[in-house]
A and B are shown apart, each in its own frame.
Chain A
Amino acid sequence: MQKNSFYILYAAVALAVIGMVHFLLLLIPAPFPVIALVAFAAVIGAYTLFRKMERKILLVNTVSVWPGIVLLLALLYLAITGANDAPVTGAWDAWAIWNYAARYLGKPENWKQLFQNITNAHSDYPLNQPSVISFFWKLCGHEYKTVPFLYSLLMTLFIPALLFFELYRKGAIIALIALFIIVGNSFYLDKGLWQYADTTIAFYFLCILVCLYHAAKSQNPVWMAMSAFMMACCVWTKNEGILIALVSALFYSREILKKQNLLPFFLTLFIALVPWLILKLCFAPGNDLVEGQKDQSFTRAFELGRHAIVAKYFFKELWEEQRTMVYVFIIYCLSCLLKHKMLSKQVLIILVVVAGTWFVYIFTPRFLEWHVSVTIDRMFQEWMLAMLFAIFTDLFRDKKERLSGSIYASSTLVEIVH
């Protein structure tokens, strides 16, 4: 793995840890100076842990200067364009859900009232993003609009950076193509700066796939622990994170159930899920989509009309906003066909997640057409970056593999020596 990727993963962990500590200490309730001290101690602790892990895995730094500069220019372009075009207060759900929850978490005396707003308020949504934003609002001493904007921007910039560094092993050109696919899609930046949690979960979804890829390749339990943490972050970010984590774990169950991986995976997963478990078991009201189900709801699965409505908006969105990805996917499928091989495990994970979401729509107790039409664009934001990573990882061979055998042959050797 590239060193830069490794530190981006650290940033992902550090941000999530801040949110988790903030939420857990609100339960006591601890005064904010104590929360800040513990949060920073946890961030430093995570850094120490990462430095220790660094010695157990093979990190390389092969990114040349010029491709690196192109990446930075692309990120600068996204940042400047984003700052100019982003709605100051985010889009609707940023007001009504994510920043709304953050503002409640900023009031230690009455934050639990957040969960008394039941009708249409989505108070059961996980609190990763609100908790981090609320923490930095408190740290600044004021609810600056810049804080949620910066959080969204960080997530929006981390994704192309992580993709670039992770695909760099395929060659600079491949990494740059992936970068330009993202930067060239204005949809990505628009949605990224709405201040919704969709880009956050897209980032953690990508982190899961990156960690699982290295876990499978290197057989190092460190990667399994990291994968578990990223899965917990997905769950702690949005409800659909449960689906993402479950499907990912299911596809990699053979690796997870290996003796050396079992404890690191489940221990990390359990610890990182504690805030989410407390939220769901002690505070959150029932989910509107689950509670709205009736006895005869299962018959919806066989209503062709409902599938037609979902298909209409799904393919419309796919064609209008994700056309490049459609071409990439077709090329990938043709390549698999020519090579007589199956789609990769990671691509299948995403397809199963898409299928799962499709059925969430089918079973929705809400007005279906409205539900699909106002949310499907955000779903693509969650899936497409992971899909780009999964396809490019399988479509192109590692540069070092092409030149001198598998890099992971040598990396495993280094890990064994360590």
Chain B
Amino acid sequence: MQPKYFFIAFILIIIVAAVSFGFKAPSDRQKEMELIGYTMEGSYPYFPATGAGFFAPKEDDAILQETRFAIVPRHIEPVKNIDDGLVILMIWRHTINDSLLQRHISRHVVLWEGKDSVFSYYLVKQR
């Protein structure tokens, strides 16, 4: 097989995959979030400062101003530095027990929750 034929076919395969991926239907989780007025795409793929210790860009970070959504992974801390916006809490279930989880979650108004094999997700509004 001549390299030119192989690479032409290879590029066509990549184009087919790109088109197929581009028109992909949103997942159930995305649909649920859209229902409550929030899309993952809105903040993808960036999660700005949360005060929870995971990401800590400075106040003047231009990216920080783009969105008021935040992800607090791995552990839960009281969410700071986010005015009164909606916040996604993304909790790594390996590292937290249920009572601690409930205590922290109770500080927020939970608008939506979801789970997968590793994370629990809560869309919350600060009280």
Mark A residues whose CB is within 8 Å of B: 3-4, 7, 61, 63-65, 67-69, 72, 75-76, 79-80, 82-84, 86-90, 92, 94-96, 99-100, 102-104, 107, 109-110, 113, 116-121, 143, 145-146, 148-150, 153-154, 157, 161, 367, 370, 373-374
Contacts and interface: CB of A to CB of B under 8 A. Distances in A.
Contacts of A100: 45-47
A171 B71 CA distance: 52
A83 B20 contact: yes
A113 B47 contact: no
Contacts of A94: 45
B24 interface: yes
Contact of B94 (A64, A99, A119, A374): A374
B53 A79 contact: no
Given A100-B45, A370-B94, 4 more contacts: A65-B1, A68-B6, A109-B62, A161-B10
A110 B61 contact: yes
A96 B70 CA distance: 12
Interface of B: 1-3, 5-7, 9-10, 13-14, 16-18, 20-22, 24, 26-27, 30, 40-41, 44-47, 53-58, 61-63, 71, 73-74, 94-95, 118-119
A90 to B, nearest CB: 7
Nearest to A147: B18
B2 A61 contact: yes
Given A76-B16, A83-B21, A99 B57 contact: no
B47 A96 contact: yes
Contact of A116 (B7, B40, B58): B58
Given A72-B13, A117-B57, A150-B18, A64 B118 contact: no
Question: Interface on chain A toward B: helix, strand, loop, or mixed SS?
Answer: helix
A374 B118 CA distance: 9
A88 B27 contact: yes
Given A89-B40, A153-B14, A96 B73 contact: yes
A145 B44 contact: yes
B1 A76 contact: no
Nearest to B60: A110
B1 A64 contact: yes
B95 A110 contact: no
Contacts of B46: 100, 103
Contacts of B74: 120
A157 B13 contact: yes
Closest 7 CB pairs of A and B: A68-B1, A79-B17, A83-B20, A99-B45, A83-B21, A83-B17, A63-B1
A94 B45 CA distance: 8
A75 B10 contact: yes
B54 A120 contact: yes
Contact of B54 (A83, A121, A153): A121
B42 to A, nearest CB: 11
Given A72-B13, A83-B21, A4 B1 contact: yes
Contact of A110 (B2, B22, B45, B63): B63
A113 B48 CA distance: 12
10 contacts: A7-B7, A72-B6, A87-B27, A88-B27, A99-B45, A103-B63, A119-B53, A145-B45, A146-B22, A374-B118
Contacts of B20: 79-80, 83-84
Contacts of B13: 72, 75-76, 79, 157
Contacts of B47: 95-96, 100
Contacts of A69: 1
A139 to B, nearest CB: 15
A149 B58 contact: no
A244 B76 CA distance: 36
B54 to A, nearest CB: 5
A93 B7 CA distance: 31
Given A63-B1, A121-B55, A95 B17 contact: no
Contacts of B16: 76, 79-80, 83
Given A95-B45, A103-B46, A113-B58, A154 B14 contact: yes
Contacts of B17: 79-80, 82-83, 150, 153
Contacts of B55: 117, 121
A89 B24 CA distance: 12
Contacts of B63: 103-104, 107, 110
Given A63-B1, A157-B13, A4 B6 contact: yes
Contacts of B14: 79, 150, 153-154, 157
Nearest to A3: B3
Nearest to B57: A113
Nearest to A119: B53
B118 A90 contact: no
Nearest to A6: B3
Contacts of A72: 6, 9-10, 13
